[in-house]
Structure 1
């Protein structure tokens, strides 16, 4: 077990000083409007599904981050996937499961869930 060290009065741990292994960085908005639309429950589904596939913080896997507002709020909850720069509107548990299975595990963008630029 690695020891926790204090730096400038703050507990640190060597593992906290490295970027976790991942291929995709997934950000889910949990700002006030997305939370009203169910983002916290969708976060739980997202995390559970990725754990089932053993895809959290592993090579080829996913680094998960909750954010505040990402915009566009009226199309949320908003979930973004990098490095592909895909912006998704996820509205149900089924949407999250599909996104994990098709995009994050299968490697294919789920076109019909993408938030489209409006001119």
Structure 2
């Protein structure tokens, strides 16, 4: 073990040796929390490239971690897997199927910026 290698205790790094920054102890500012499933089935259906599209669109619109913006989080399985990639928006309680970059761009523009759910992307026709 070198001087820069953290000491391991039962496969874990000692808490006092984990890199930390003060802002990592705060919940980022946001109005909506968006969770994109990155479970195995959603990843097979293209969730990871969609993550990049969502993040880029939100950054361009200055809506990442701002008072009127979005906390964008990757989650594991949210179900229903066969309808993925699945994305949820809270507190609006909207569940979406986001199949491609165009869907992701529309969702950002219409729901996350303009505040209107996108009916044709909602799972099972549910309404918030």
Question: Is the pair's TM-score, using the shorter chain for normalization, greater than 0.5?
Answer: yes
Larger Rg: 2
| Deviation by residue 1:52-91 (Cα, 9 ceiling, x = unmatched) | 1010001100001001110000100000000011000000
8 Å CA contact 2:50, 2:104 repeated in 1: yes
Q: Distance in 1 between matches of 2:101 and 2:15?
A: 42
Does the alignment pair 1:78 with 2:80? Answer: no
Runs of 4 or more consecutive aligned structure 1 residues displaced over 6 Å after TM superposition: none
Give the alignment partner of residue 108 of structure 1, picking from 116, 120, 125. 116
Superposed, 1:15-94 pairs within 5 Å as 15-94=23-102
8 Å CA contact 2:119, 2:125 repeated in 1: no
* Structure 1 unmatched runs, 5+: 1-5
Q: How many residues align?
A: 113
* Structure 2 unmatched runs, 5+: 1-13
Cα deviation for residue 117 of structure 1 reads: 7.3
Q: Kindly report the root-mean-square deviation, in angstroms, between the aligned alpha carbons of the 2 structures.
A: 1.7
Q: Distance in 1 between matches of 2:22 and 2:112?
A: 28
SS of the equivalent of 1:11 reads coil
TM-score normalized with structure 2 length:
0.83
